[in-house]
Homo-oligomer: A and B are copies of this chain.
Amino acid sequence: MDSERATCVSCGRAYPAGRQRCGCGEPLWLETDASEYDWPSDDTTGMWRFADLLPVDPPTGLGAGVGGTPLVRTERLDAYAGCRLSVKDETRNPTGSFKDRGSAVGVAAVAERGDQWVGTVSHGNMGMSVAAHAASVGLDCLVFVPEDIPAERHSLIAQYDPELVTVRGSYGRLYEATVDSPLPVEFVNSDSPLRVAGQKTVAFEILEGFAPDAPDAIALPVSSGGNASAVWKALREARTAGLIDDIPRLYLVQAAACDPVATAYRGGADSVTPVEAGDTIAYSIANADPPSGTRALAAVRDTDGAVVSVTDDEIRDAMSVLSSRAGLCVEAASATALAGVRALSASGEVRPDERVVLVATGTGFKEGTGRATDVVSSSIDVDSFESAVRDRIEGS
């Protein structure tokens, strides 16, 4: 595949592959020539089904089994969502989040070059993911985390045996220090070109699931803007290849307490500027200064979508509805997308007959302790089992 160039979608400049940032300050992505591309005719499953559009060959180890996640039609959520909803269940990846797609490509690229070190700057999911993929192929891994994340997340990352380093000081400055750094470490951060290349496969899987039609819209949470960029890149490539006629609208959702992209969208701005962040249960997406925020904004404008923000109460409610009506246990950041679709339907932006795909980005299993524990319906003695069951059935 032609991925020898990294380009800036904002100013149009091109660089040799490997560079992460444009001279204009915007993030680069890897150029992909999709003009001759068609749906694969073989029966390869998972993200490597789309290997012809990726900058690396299919790897061994954990990366071989990434993607191919279920696209579940969730009729029981339609009334709540206000549309015909499907869920792309990214919780089903090896480390429980969408991050595995990008980590698989980043780690495979380092292994292909014969290099030894991979790294990332993360609050949790990405650190776990990069460390797990590195462990499975024997690469060394550096994970830098802010010093204020909970110790429980340390242990989830540390099980994969990376060098786990806590960092005092600005997270934004730490991120910048890793971008195009002279160090002999490939930092596969949230919007690095290799990660964006891997993440785009989720959109190809969604589109193939609907082919020859296409969904009306795709909704996802937005943090750094890297994943939104990846989905947009896939939609552009699919349009270039002639796989879709109309591009689905891209809806991005943020937590109201930390919503720089939504703020820029509401204000009609062309670029995203940092905000003062408050606390939110959707901590995975609480990025006050998103490095690909402006590109995410461009994605929304190009696809005729929107950016909305939702309150923590709305997020909690959506999380509860996802588990109790669809059997899906997701983290708060993922439930944000459902709360956003509900808001967009309430405002008339999304219509009841439209087909919307919600990307469930990460599992809620890692956050067991954050859930309510006062949840037992009742307590019985084993001797009263049968009458207890009859009471419950008759009382329901």
Q: Measuring CB to CB, which residues of chain A are less than 8 angstroms from any residue of chain B?
A: 43, 45-46, 60-62, 64-65, 68, 70, 72-76, 89, 92-96, 117, 119, 131-138, 140, 142, 144, 147, 151-152, 154-161, 163-170, 173-174, 177-178, 181-185, 320, 323-329, 363-369, 371-373, 375-383, 385-386, 388-390, 392-393, 396
Q: Is the pair B62, A147 in contact by a Cβ cutoff of 8 Å?
A: no
- Residue of B at shortest CB range from A146? B382
Q: Is the pair B62, A326 in contact by a Cβ cutoff of 8 Å?
A: yes
Tell me how far the C-beta of A362 lies from the nearest C-beta in chain B, rounded to whole angstroms: 10
Q: Is the pair B323, A169 in contact by a Cβ cutoff of 8 Å?
A: no
Which of A75, A167, A185, A365 gathers the greatest number of chain B CB atoms within 10 Å?
A365
The distance in angstroms between the C-alpha atoms of A380 and B121, with both chains bound, is: 13
With A76-B136, A94-B89, A385-B177 known as contacts, the answer to whether A160 contacts B324 (CB < 8 A) is yes
Q: Is the pair B155, A327 in contact by a Cβ cutoff of 8 Å?
A: no
Tell me how far the C-beta of A320 lies from the nearest C-beta in chain B, rounded to whole angstroms: 7
Q: Is the pair B369, A368 in contact by a Cβ cutoff of 8 Å?
A: yes
- Residue of B at shortest CB range from A132? B327
- Residue of B at shortest CB range from A147? B379
With A167-B382, A369-B152 known as contacts, the answer to whether A159 contacts B376 (CB < 8 A) is no
Tell me how far the C-beta of A178 lies from the nearest C-beta in chain B, rounded to whole angstroms: 8
Some 15 contacts from A to B, beta carbons below 8 A apart, are A62-B326, A64-B72, A76-B136, A152-B368, A155-B368, A155-B375, A159-B371, A160-B324, A165-B378, A166-B380, A177-B386, A178-B385, A181-B386, A184-B393, A369-B369
- Residue of B at shortest CB range from A117? B393
Q: Is the pair B159, A323 in contact by a Cβ cutoff of 8 Å?
A: yes
Tell me how far the C-beta of A385 lies from the nearest C-beta in chain B, rounded to whole angstroms: 5
- Residue of B at shortest CB range from A183? B389
The distance in angstroms between the C-alpha atoms of A131 and B320, with both chains bound, is: 14
Tell me how far the C-beta of A78 lies from the nearest C-beta in chain B, rounded to whole angstroms: 13
Residues of B within 8 A of A329 (CB): 95, 132, 156, 159
Residues of B within 8 A of A96 (CB): 363, 365
Q: Is the pair A135, B327 in contact by a Cβ cutoff of 8 Å?
A: yes
The distance in angstroms between the C-alpha atoms of A73 and B62, with both chains bound, is: 9
Tell me how far the C-beta of A66 lies from the nearest C-beta in chain B, rounded to whole angstroms: 9
Tell me how far the C-beta of A184 lies from the nearest C-beta in chain B, rounded to whole angstroms: 6
Tell me how far the C-beta of A128 lies from the nearest C-beta in chain B, rounded to whole angstroms: 8
Q: Is the pair B169, A381 in contact by a Cβ cutoff of 8 Å?
A: yes
With A155-B373, A326-B136 known as contacts, the answer to whether A163 contacts B64 (CB < 8 A) is no
Q: Which of B138, B163, B372 is the one whose CB lies under 8 Å from A76?
A: B138
With A132-B329, A165-B388 known as contacts, the answer to whether A160 contacts B376 (CB < 8 A) is no
Residues of B within 8 A of A328 (CB): 62, 94, 132, 136
Residues of B within 8 A of A364 (CB): 159
Known: A60-B73, A152-B369, A165-B378. 6 other contacts (CB 8 A): A61-B76, A62-B326, A164-B375, A167-B380, A173-B382, A368-B369
The distance in angstroms between the C-alpha atoms of A279 and B174, with both chains bound, is: 45
Residues of B within 8 A of A383 (CB): 169
